[in-house]
Structure 1
Amino acid sequence: MPGTFKRIRRRIWLILNILVVFWVLLGVLCLQVPPHEFWPAGFLALTLPGALLLNVLFLLYWLIKRSWLLVLPLLVIVLGWGYYNRLIAFNLGENEAPEGARTLTVLSYNVHVFNAYADRDGSEREASSEMIDWVATHPADVYCLQEFYSNRGSSIYNTISRIGNRYDKHRYFSVSFVDRNKADIGTVIFSRYPIVNKGVIRFGESSHNRAIWADLNVEGDTIRVYTAHLQSMSIKSQDIENTYSAIGNEESFKKEGRNLARRLKKGFVARGHQVEKLLEHIQESPYPVIVCGDLNDIPTSYTYNKLARTLQNAFVEAGAGIGATYNGPLPFLRIDNQFYSEGLRAIRFETHYEMGLSDHFPITAEYVLEKE
């Protein structure tokens, strides 16, 4: 009788493990599906990290049981290592640039309008000024800033002057809109190298989201740098708190849950269109490219997957750990990225957790310009 129960329990665990394998396969398949063609794929892809984690737990379970069935989750890890590596980078130590090699260090940061709208009573000015000074004095060669805010009439928020003019940086600022204080808000690239060409990729007449690009003359070679701000998830801290607090109240929970699902669906569909338009432009570049920005999507998403099929990711190649970039109530989200093409090689990547004044953490990557 104990032997029969043991076999039944083993069979149940095996069935559960097989279901997790199918879950992983389904999640990977959904990464290939444009959300604007089949939006449920976006939600299924969102669950892939959970399936990958459960697969690791099954490996540990079969290992403890000393069962040959550990081959099943181990095979998933080996074949799906690239998806695990998107979530956790395992690069130990720092790569050094070869002697005499030319390097380019790029900072990408969603500055959240330097918290200007939280400063109506003047209480945030010291923090805002600290953030602006941190950006202005960062030793990067190129700055890609999203949700950039500049008000020429303000001594604090005249950021074009404080970051660009004061430190002799070249710039390309694409203004999405002008607010009631006559402040410019948009996306900007600052560079210590000359900008020889530039342009904007608009994602729609009514959308403030966009990508911009600049061709930089880096000691005789041209590198094209993109910075993009894709459609927001439109989920605020209050929305998450409302959903948690509604647990126990079925009607309220359903209402809040539908509200979150509707916003997520809208974001999946919009970012699917936007990343395709961005990638079309990238593929026409005659120069090596670096693509920075706030994707507002995690590594197991159609958005990320579309870029990763063409470009290398700097965090995956040179980073370490989880690399979360969202500074909000949802932990472990890496939604800010730097991608790059052939002709470049990432040797260092850092997420700046010491700068926590925005709802995003800044990221920097150092690249070697490889000889043809």
Structure 2
Amino acid sequence: MSDTFKKIRRRFWLILNILVVFWVLLGVLCLRVPPHEFWPAGFVALSLPGALVLNVLFLLYWLIKRSWLLVLPLLVIILGWGYYSRLMAFNFSDEQPEGAKTLQVLSYNVHVFNAYTDTDGSAREASSEMIDWVATHPADVYCLQEFYSNRGSNTYNTISRIGNRYDKYRYFSVSYVDRNKADIGTAIFSRYPILNKGIIRFGESNVNRAIWADLNVKGDTVRIYSTHLQSMSIKSQDIENTYSAIGNEESFKKEGRNLARRLKKGFIARSHQVEKLLEHINESPHPVIVCGDFNDMPSSYTYNQLARNLQNAFVEAGTGVGATYNGPLPFLRIDNQFYSEGLRAYSFQTHYEMGLSDHFPISAKYVLEEE
């Protein structure tokens, strides 16, 4: 009887393991399906990290049981290592190559430097701290999203505080002007001269866009993109409402449908936007670094399209999980730096010391490789 029970239990766990393997395969397949053609693929791809984690747990289970069935999850890990490495990086050397041309790039969604929360001036000191942190960062290039500049304010005159005061070249593409006559948009600041520049507009959206600038880096030209794709449109309050609705079936369904609609809208919009961005990138005559707030995780069509064409600085030179979202959902890496041939990332850092925005800044160091 005992042997029969063991066989049934073993078969049960084997079936579950096989189902997880199919889940992984389906998730990987859905990474290649444009959500604007089949939007459910976006949700399946989003679930891929869960399948990958369960596969590791099955490996540990079969290892403890000393069963040859550990071969099944082990093969998934080996064959799918590229997808695991998107979630967690293991690079521990950031030594600068001697005699090579290097370039350090900072990317940061600055959340309008929290200007809209500063209704009574109480947040001004924190905003000023954030602006000074950016202005004095040792990076050669800053790619800033949700950039905010108000010439009529001593605190929020960021073009002057970051660009003029520290003698940086800049390109600021204004998305719109608010009621305080402040400019909001996407910016690139550089210690190297800007040779050429332009905007990539994503359809009717005026907020989401990418800007690019060709920089003369010690005689070589590198094209830098600062990108802001369609937002998830999910606020902290939405997540808290969903959590609080657990136990109330009707309320939970309502909040769940609300989140699903917003996610669906974002999946579709970003799939269009990333394809337009890649068209421009593929036509670049120079090596490129693509920075920004992509509002999508590594298990997404957006990320997958970029990763198929470019290297990711976190994967190649980072360590740990590298979460960049500073909000109630942990472990989300939605800010990235991708780069092309002709460059090599040798150092990557997520700056958790600067937690004043809803995003953490990220910086990477690159070697300009000789042709």
TM-score between the two structures when normalised by the length of structure 1: 0.99
- Is the 2:104–2:363 Cα contact (8 Å) retained in structure 1? yes
Amino acid at match of 2:21: V
CA distance in 1, matches of 2:85, 2:69: 24
CA distance in 2, matches of 1:305, 1:230: 15
Q: 1:85 aligns to what? A: 85
Q: 2:36 aligns to what? A: 36
CA distance in 2, matches of 1:99, 1:114: 37
Note the residue ranges of structure 1 that are not aligned, 5 or more in a row. none
Structure 1 outlier segments of 4+, above 6 Å: none
CA distance in 1, matches of 2:203, 2:155: 32
Amino acid at match of 1:44: V
CA distance in 2, matches of 1:207, 1:257: 28
Using the TM superposition, give the Cα deviation of residue 207 of structure 1 relative to its aligned residue in structure 2, in angstroms: 3.3
Using the TM superposition, give the Cα deviation of residue 174 of structure 1 relative to its aligned residue in structure 2, in angstroms: 0.2
Paired residues in the alignment total: 371
Using the TM superposition, give the Cα deviation of residue 98 of structure 1 relative to its aligned residue in structure 2, in angstroms: 2.5
Q: 2:167 aligns to what? A: 168
- Is the 2:314–2:348 Cα contact (8 Å) retained in structure 1? yes
CA distance in 1, matches of 2:206, 2:168: 28
Using the TM superposition, give the Cα deviation of residue 292 of structure 1 relative to its aligned residue in structure 2, in angstroms: 0.1
Using the TM superposition, give the Cα deviation of residue 205 of structure 1 relative to its aligned residue in structure 2, in angstroms: 2.9
Using the TM superposition, give the Cα deviation of residue 206 of structure 1 relative to its aligned residue in structure 2, in angstroms: 3.7
- Counterparts in 2 of 1:6-25, with a 5 A limit? 6-25=6-25
CA distance in 2, matches of 1:64, 1:205: 55
CA distance in 2, matches of 1:132, 1:239: 29
RMSD of the TM alignment (CA)? 0.5
- Counterparts in 2 of 1:42-191, with a 5 A limit? 42-94=42-94, 96-191=95-190
- Is the 2:93–2:347 Cα contact (8 Å) retained in structure 1? no
CA distance in 1, matches of 2:206, 2:143: 20
- Counterparts in 2 of 1:209-358, with a 5 A limit? 209-358=208-357
CA distance in 1, matches of 2:5, 2:124: 67
- Is the 2:289–2:337 Cα contact (8 Å) retained in structure 1? yes
- Is the 2:89–2:320 Cα contact (8 Å) retained in structure 1? yes
CA distance in 2, matches of 1:184, 1:50: 41
CA distance in 1, matches of 2:98, 2:351: 27
| Superimposed CA distance per residue, residues 232-273 of structure 1 (whole angstroms, 9 cap, x where no aligned partner) | 000000000111111111111111110000000000000000
Note the residue ranges of structure 2 that are not aligned, 5 or more in a row. none
Using the TM superposition, give the Cα deviation of residue 190 of structure 1 relative to its aligned residue in structure 2, in angstroms: 0.1
Using the TM superposition, give the Cα deviation of residue 30 of structure 1 relative to its aligned residue in structure 2, in angstroms: 0.3
| Superimposed CA distance per residue, residues 55-93 of structure 1 (whole angstroms, 9 cap, x where no aligned partner) | 000000000000000000000000000000000001123
CA distance in 1, matches of 2:108, 2:257: 31
